[in-house]
Structure 1
Amino acid sequence: MNNTEIIKRLSELFEEAIIMLPDDDILSYVEENPNREFDKHIMYIRRLNTTAKSEMQQSLKAKAKEILESLINEIGKNQFVEDLLAQPKYQKLAPQLFSKFERITEQDKEEMLKDRRFMDLVRELKEDLKNEGNS
């Protein structure tokens, strides 16, 4: 046997030696057999995951804010709000959203509807950014 064949055979043996278990089996084994050294590493990984999720959320928030600010700057604040108010899906919500309020003026209803539409837009932008990040 030459060196190439020896290396190839060793590689095959290493591959056979690697135990392939599903993640659920490994997790159940770890939960059933606690180990201090291993637990330190798991806690570290959990902290890293939490930090990464937090940073991703901050990034999404900053990106949504940036997009909204650029839209408002591009279109103009009044025109931006008027464009939102012109959408039929928001006009249908107006009577349902504010029907429980007593002694509310039409201007108050309009302002509340603008706020609601703005929050819906922010939510949609956030979803779009989240979907964009997942792909």
Structure 2
Amino acid sequence: MREGEPAGPVLLYDGDCGFCSRSVRFLEEHNLMGYRATPWQRVPDGELTVAFERLQSEVVLVRPGLPVVGGADALAASVRASDSRLRFTGRLLALPGFRAVAHAVYRQVARNRYRLPGGSAACRIG
């Protein structure tokens, strides 16, 4: 997505949001990030393949040749692709009942991320 970097799967998140940045760091530190994570603000405009409105409201996973997935599905896919022994939780979150709960929790967290640790007014979703 950046010049000189190999094309491949990338998880795009809001780099202006402290909560989002802290969450990605947590996943990386605990070996739960199966894909490269990059703030969408660092991707040149011409290379963004996802609508700006979507990038502001949810994390998205862009994988060459596959549909873009967002929110809880993007995080679950990244955890599934990790080397962690906890990657089974990514598979669990893909099951119908768990997936519905994960989506509901993700929506609540996303709406209230400005209130969570590391959050600020920049984290508020319009």
Structure number with the higher strand fraction is: 2
Structure number with the higher helix fraction is: 1
**Alignment TM-score, normalising by the size of structure 2:** 0.22
